[in-house]
Structure 1
Protein backbone atom coordinates (compact mmCIF):
# COMPACT_ATOMS: atom_id res chain seq x y z
CA UNK A 1 0.00 0.00 0.00
CA UNK A 2 3.05 2.22 0.13
CA UNK A 3 2.67 5.21 -2.14
CA UNK A 4 -1.08 4.87 -2.66
CA UNK A 5 -4.08 6.51 -1.12
CA UNK A 6 -5.46 4.78 1.98
CA UNK A 7 -8.20 2.32 1.19
CA UNK A 8 -7.06 1.71 -2.38
CA UNK A 9 -5.21 -1.20 -3.83
CA UNK A 10 -1.59 -0.65 -4.82
CA UNK A 11 -2.31 -0.52 -8.57
CA UNK A 12 -4.77 2.35 -8.53
CA UNK A 13 -4.43 5.93 -7.38
CA UNK A 14 -1.04 7.37 -6.34
CA UNK A 15 -0.92 9.29 -3.04
CA UNK A 16 -0.44 12.66 -4.74
CA UNK A 17 -3.67 12.33 -6.76
CA UNK A 18 -5.58 13.47 -3.67
CA UNK A 19 -4.05 16.94 -4.19
CA UNK A 20 -4.09 19.34 -7.13
CA UNK A 21 -1.38 19.07 -9.76
CA UNK A 22 1.15 21.88 -9.39
CA UNK A 23 0.66 24.94 -11.58
CA UNK A 24 4.33 25.85 -11.73
CA UNK A 25 7.70 24.18 -12.05
CA UNK A 26 10.28 24.98 -9.40
CA UNK A 27 13.86 25.81 -10.24
CA UNK A 28 16.62 23.32 -9.49
CA UNK A 29 19.84 23.62 -7.54
CA UNK A 30 23.04 21.60 -7.98
CA UNK A 31 24.51 19.72 -5.05
CA UNK A 32 27.78 21.69 -5.30
CA UNK A 33 25.83 24.91 -4.69
CA UNK A 34 24.19 23.39 -1.61
CA UNK A 35 27.50 22.07 -0.33
CA UNK A 36 29.01 25.53 -0.75
CA UNK A 37 26.18 27.05 1.33
CA UNK A 38 26.74 24.40 4.00
CA UNK A 39 30.51 24.98 4.11
CA UNK A 40 30.08 28.72 4.51
CA UNK A 41 27.65 28.38 7.38
CA UNK A 42 24.81 30.17 5.62
CA UNK A 43 21.67 29.01 7.44
CA UNK A 44 19.18 30.95 5.37
CA UNK A 45 18.13 27.71 3.72
CA UNK A 46 16.18 24.63 4.72
CA UNK A 47 16.80 21.15 3.32
CA UNK A 48 13.65 19.01 3.27
CA UNK A 49 14.01 15.25 2.82
CA UNK A 50 10.71 13.92 1.46
CA UNK A 51 11.45 10.20 1.81
CA UNK A 52 9.19 7.99 3.90
CA UNK A 53 9.46 4.22 3.40
CA UNK A 54 12.77 4.64 1.58
CA UNK A 55 14.32 6.82 4.31
CA UNK A 56 17.54 4.87 4.76
CA UNK A 57 21.26 5.20 4.17
CA UNK A 58 21.67 8.46 5.99
CA UNK A 59 20.60 12.05 5.66
CA UNK A 60 22.13 15.28 4.51
CA UNK A 61 23.34 17.11 7.60
CA UNK A 62 20.84 19.69 8.84
CA UNK A 63 17.94 18.40 6.75
CA UNK A 64 14.52 17.68 8.16
CA UNK A 65 12.42 14.68 7.18
CA UNK A 66 8.93 15.56 6.06
CA UNK A 67 7.46 12.66 4.07
CA UNK A 68 5.91 13.87 0.83
CA UNK A 69 2.63 12.13 1.64
CA UNK A 70 2.04 14.55 4.54
CA UNK A 71 3.34 17.71 2.89
CA UNK A 72 0.48 19.33 0.99
CA UNK A 73 -1.81 20.18 3.94
CA UNK A 74 1.23 21.44 5.89
CA UNK A 75 2.42 23.98 3.33
CA UNK A 76 0.86 27.07 4.99
CA UNK A 77 2.42 26.13 8.34
CA UNK A 78 5.79 25.41 6.75
CA UNK A 79 5.63 28.79 5.03
CA UNK A 80 4.93 30.63 8.30
CA UNK A 81 7.80 28.80 10.03
CA UNK A 82 10.35 29.48 7.32
CA UNK A 83 9.34 33.15 7.13
CA UNK A 84 9.68 33.52 10.91
CA UNK A 85 13.12 31.88 10.73
CA UNK A 86 14.35 34.16 7.94
CA UNK A 87 14.86 31.28 5.50
CA UNK A 88 15.16 32.35 1.86
CA UNK A 89 15.71 28.98 0.10
CA UNK A 90 13.74 25.80 0.69
CA UNK A 91 15.50 22.90 -0.99
CA UNK A 92 13.37 19.79 -1.52
CA UNK A 93 14.68 16.32 -2.30
CA UNK A 94 13.71 12.68 -2.30
CA UNK A 95 15.70 9.64 -3.37
CA UNK A 96 16.39 10.84 -6.93
CA UNK A 97 14.40 14.10 -7.06
CA UNK A 98 12.44 12.97 -10.09
CA UNK A 99 8.99 12.61 -8.49
CA UNK A 100 8.36 13.73 -4.94
CA UNK A 101 11.09 16.41 -4.95
CA UNK A 102 9.89 18.32 -8.02
CA UNK A 103 6.24 17.91 -7.01
CA UNK A 104 6.81 19.25 -3.48
CA UNK A 105 8.96 22.12 -4.73
CA UNK A 106 6.29 23.04 -7.27
CA UNK A 107 3.48 22.91 -4.69
CA UNK A 108 5.47 25.18 -2.41
CA UNK A 109 6.32 27.41 -5.36
CA UNK A 110 2.59 27.64 -6.16
CA UNK A 111 1.92 28.68 -2.57
CA UNK A 112 4.64 31.34 -2.71
CA UNK A 113 3.12 32.72 -5.92
CA UNK A 114 -0.38 32.72 -4.41
CA UNK A 115 0.93 34.71 -1.43
CA UNK A 116 2.87 37.11 -3.63
CA UNK A 117 6.05 36.00 -1.85
CA UNK A 118 9.21 36.96 -3.73
CA UNK A 119 11.84 36.70 -0.97
CA UNK A 120 11.69 32.89 -0.68
CA UNK A 121 12.75 30.37 -3.33
CA UNK A 122 11.50 26.81 -3.66
CA UNK A 123 14.19 24.61 -5.22
CA UNK A 124 14.70 20.95 -6.15
CA UNK A 125 18.03 19.31 -5.32
CA UNK A 126 19.11 17.76 -8.62
CA UNK A 127 19.92 14.06 -8.26
CA UNK A 128 18.30 13.84 -4.82
CA UNK A 129 20.01 12.12 -1.93
CA UNK A 130 21.24 9.31 -4.20
CA UNK A 131 23.18 11.85 -6.22
CA UNK A 132 24.55 13.39 -3.01
CA UNK A 133 25.51 10.09 -1.36
CA UNK A 134 27.28 8.79 -4.46
CA UNK A 135 29.11 12.02 -5.41
CA UNK A 136 32.19 11.24 -3.37
CA UNK A 137 33.76 11.61 0.04
CA UNK A 138 33.30 15.37 0.25
CA UNK A 139 29.52 14.97 0.05
CA UNK A 140 29.39 11.88 2.25
CA UNK A 141 31.27 13.80 4.96
CA UNK A 142 28.24 16.12 5.14
CA UNK A 143 25.85 13.24 5.87
CA UNK A 144 24.70 11.89 9.22
CA UNK A 145 24.08 8.18 9.81
CA UNK A 146 25.63 7.36 6.42
CA UNK A 147 25.45 3.66 5.46
CA UNK A 148 27.60 2.91 2.41
CA UNK A 149 25.86 -0.43 1.75
CA UNK A 150 22.59 1.34 0.94
CA UNK A 151 24.19 3.39 -1.83
CA UNK A 152 26.16 0.53 -3.42
CA UNK A 153 23.15 -1.75 -3.99
CA UNK A 154 22.19 -2.45 -7.57
Structure 2
Protein backbone atom coordinates (compact mmCIF):
# COMPACT_ATOMS: atom_id res chain seq x y z
CA UNK A 1 0.00 0.00 0.00
CA UNK A 2 2.80 2.42 0.91
CA UNK A 3 4.47 1.76 -2.46
CA UNK A 4 1.22 2.62 -4.25
CA UNK A 5 0.87 5.88 -2.27
CA UNK A 6 4.48 6.88 -3.02
CA UNK A 7 4.06 6.10 -6.72
CA UNK A 8 0.89 8.22 -6.83
CA UNK A 9 2.65 11.15 -5.13
CA UNK A 10 5.58 10.90 -7.57
CA UNK A 11 3.22 10.81 -10.57
CA UNK A 12 1.29 13.82 -9.22
CA UNK A 13 4.55 15.77 -8.82
CA UNK A 14 5.63 14.91 -12.39
CA UNK A 15 2.23 16.01 -13.71
CA UNK A 16 2.55 19.34 -11.89
CA UNK A 17 5.74 20.26 -13.81
CA UNK A 18 4.82 18.69 -17.17
CA UNK A 19 3.37 21.88 -18.76
CA UNK A 20 6.56 23.82 -18.15
CA UNK A 21 9.79 24.01 -20.09
CA UNK A 22 11.96 20.98 -20.63
CA UNK A 23 14.99 21.26 -18.44
CA UNK A 24 18.64 21.11 -19.19
CA UNK A 25 21.03 21.20 -16.28
CA UNK A 26 22.58 24.61 -16.73
CA UNK A 27 22.33 26.26 -13.31
CA UNK A 28 25.32 26.33 -11.02
CA UNK A 29 25.41 25.30 -7.40
CA UNK A 30 26.71 26.67 -4.14
CA UNK A 31 27.68 24.73 -1.03
CA UNK A 32 26.38 25.73 2.37
CA UNK A 33 30.01 26.43 3.39
CA UNK A 34 30.38 28.95 0.57
CA UNK A 35 27.01 30.58 1.34
CA UNK A 36 27.98 30.85 5.00
CA UNK A 37 31.21 32.51 3.86
CA UNK A 38 29.14 35.09 1.96
CA UNK A 39 27.32 35.97 5.18
CA UNK A 40 30.60 36.29 7.10
CA UNK A 41 32.26 38.34 4.34
CA UNK A 42 29.46 40.87 4.61
CA UNK A 43 27.76 40.18 1.31
CA UNK A 44 24.32 41.67 1.59
CA UNK A 45 21.06 39.84 1.03
CA UNK A 46 18.96 41.84 -1.39
CA UNK A 47 22.01 43.69 -2.71
CA UNK A 48 24.67 41.12 -3.57
CA UNK A 49 22.48 38.02 -3.61
CA UNK A 50 18.92 36.83 -3.10
CA UNK A 51 17.83 33.62 -1.39
CA UNK A 52 14.63 31.96 -2.58
CA UNK A 53 12.92 29.33 -0.42
CA UNK A 54 10.68 27.28 -2.72
CA UNK A 55 8.78 25.37 -0.03
CA UNK A 56 5.03 25.68 0.36
CA UNK A 57 3.28 22.88 2.24
CA UNK A 58 6.52 21.72 3.85
CA UNK A 59 7.51 25.24 4.94
CA UNK A 60 8.37 24.56 8.57
CA UNK A 61 11.28 24.65 10.95
CA UNK A 62 12.57 28.02 9.81
CA UNK A 63 14.21 29.56 6.81
CA UNK A 64 17.61 31.04 6.03
CA UNK A 65 17.66 34.66 7.15
CA UNK A 66 16.44 37.09 4.52
CA UNK A 67 14.97 34.48 2.18
CA UNK A 68 11.99 35.16 -0.03
CA UNK A 69 9.34 32.45 0.05
CA UNK A 70 8.26 31.84 -3.55
CA UNK A 71 6.61 28.41 -3.65
CA UNK A 72 7.72 26.43 -6.67
CA UNK A 73 4.13 25.55 -7.59
CA UNK A 74 3.51 29.11 -8.77
CA UNK A 75 7.03 30.17 -9.72
CA UNK A 76 7.33 29.42 -13.45
CA UNK A 77 4.88 32.06 -14.75
CA UNK A 78 6.44 34.73 -12.50
CA UNK A 79 10.02 34.30 -13.74
CA UNK A 80 9.91 37.26 -16.19
CA UNK A 81 8.71 39.60 -13.44
CA UNK A 82 11.22 38.22 -10.94
CA UNK A 83 13.98 38.67 -13.52
CA UNK A 84 12.93 42.27 -14.14
CA UNK A 85 13.05 43.12 -10.43
CA UNK A 86 16.37 41.36 -9.82
CA UNK A 87 18.11 42.74 -12.90
CA UNK A 88 17.01 46.30 -12.15
CA UNK A 89 18.27 45.84 -8.59
CA UNK A 90 21.71 44.76 -9.80
CA UNK A 91 21.53 41.36 -8.05
CA UNK A 92 24.47 39.15 -9.05
CA UNK A 93 23.40 35.79 -7.59
CA UNK A 94 20.08 34.05 -6.97
CA UNK A 95 20.29 31.04 -4.65
CA UNK A 96 17.36 28.63 -4.84
CA UNK A 97 16.53 25.96 -2.27
CA UNK A 98 13.82 23.62 -1.08
CA UNK A 99 13.90 20.79 1.43
CA UNK A 100 16.83 18.90 -0.09
CA UNK A 101 17.41 20.95 -3.27
CA UNK A 102 17.23 17.82 -5.38
CA UNK A 103 13.83 18.50 -6.98
CA UNK A 104 12.26 21.93 -6.75
CA UNK A 105 15.56 23.71 -6.08
CA UNK A 106 17.25 22.29 -9.16
CA UNK A 107 14.14 22.77 -11.30
CA UNK A 108 13.72 26.44 -10.31
CA UNK A 109 17.43 27.21 -10.68
CA UNK A 110 17.37 25.73 -14.17
CA UNK A 111 14.18 27.54 -15.19
CA UNK A 112 15.75 30.82 -14.13
CA UNK A 113 19.08 29.97 -15.80
CA UNK A 114 17.22 29.18 -19.04
CA UNK A 115 15.45 32.54 -18.82
CA UNK A 116 18.77 34.30 -18.22
CA UNK A 117 20.13 32.56 -21.33
CA UNK A 118 17.13 33.71 -23.38
CA UNK A 119 17.74 37.27 -22.19
CA UNK A 120 21.45 36.92 -22.95
CA UNK A 121 22.11 38.09 -19.41
CA UNK A 122 25.49 36.99 -18.10
CA UNK A 123 25.41 39.31 -15.08
CA UNK A 124 23.17 37.15 -12.89
CA UNK A 125 23.98 33.62 -11.75
CA UNK A 126 21.29 31.09 -10.90
CA UNK A 127 22.54 28.75 -8.16
CA UNK A 128 21.00 25.85 -6.25
CA UNK A 129 21.94 25.43 -2.59
CA UNK A 130 23.47 21.97 -2.23
CA UNK A 131 21.65 19.98 0.46
CA UNK A 132 18.81 22.49 0.70
CA UNK A 133 17.37 23.76 3.95
CA UNK A 134 17.75 20.32 5.55
CA UNK A 135 21.50 20.41 4.98
CA UNK A 136 21.69 23.97 6.30
CA UNK A 137 19.52 23.40 9.39
CA UNK A 138 21.34 20.24 10.46
CA UNK A 139 24.91 21.53 9.93
CA UNK A 140 25.32 23.13 13.34
CA UNK A 141 25.03 26.41 15.20
CA UNK A 142 27.02 28.45 12.66
CA UNK A 143 24.15 27.78 10.26
CA UNK A 144 21.11 27.76 12.56
CA UNK A 145 22.02 31.15 14.04
CA UNK A 146 21.42 32.51 10.52
CA UNK A 147 17.87 31.17 10.38
CA UNK A 148 14.62 32.99 11.06
CA UNK A 149 11.95 31.10 13.01
CA UNK A 150 14.35 28.20 13.61
CA UNK A 151 12.63 25.32 15.38
CA UNK A 152 15.12 22.62 16.36
CA UNK A 153 12.36 20.05 16.95
CA UNK A 154 11.43 20.11 13.24
CA UNK A 155 14.98 19.06 12.26
CA UNK A 156 15.61 16.36 14.85
CA UNK A 157 14.17 13.13 13.54
Whether these two folds match at TM > 0.5 is: yes
TM-score normalised by L of structure 1: 0.89
Match of 2:64 among 60, 63, 82: 60
Residue of structure 1 equivalent to 2:5: none
**Structure 2 gap ranges (5+):** 1-7
Aligned equivalents of 1:77, 1:67: Cα separation in 2 = 15
Deviation sequence 1:2-38 (CA, Å, 0-9, x none):
xxxxxxx865453111212223431110011111111
Mapping for residues 128-143 of structure 1, pairs under 5 Å: 128-143=132-147
Residue of structure 1 equivalent to 2:110: 106
Name the SS for the 1:35 alignment partner. Answer: helix
Match of 1:146 among 124, 146, 150: 150
Q: CA deviation at 1:72?
A: 0.4
Does the CA contact (< 8 Å) of 1:49 and 1:65 recur in 2?
yes
Aligned equivalents of 1:71, 1:83: Cα separation in 2 = 17
Aligned equivalents of 2:15, 2:65: Cα separation in 1 = 30
Residue of structure 1 equivalent to 2:26: 25
Residue of structure 2 equivalent to 1:3: none
Aligned equivalents of 1:63, 1:84: Cα separation in 2 = 19
Residue of structure 2 equivalent to 1:6: none
Instruction: Kindly tell me the number of residue pairs found equivalent between the two proteins.
Output: 145
Mapping for residues 37-116 of structure 1, pairs under 5 Å: 37-43=38-44, 44-116=48-120
TM-score normalised by L of structure 2: 0.88
Does the CA contact (< 8 Å) of 1:25 and 1:102 recur in 2?
no
Question: What's the Cα RMSD here?
Answer: 1.4
**Structure 1 gap ranges (5+):** 1-8
Aligned equivalents of 1:132, 1:14: Cα separation in 2 = 29
After superposing on structure 2, the runs of 4+ consecutive aligned residues of structure 1 that deviate more than 3 Å are: 9-13
More helix by share: 2
Does the CA contact (< 8 Å) of 1:27 and 1:124 recur in 2?
yes
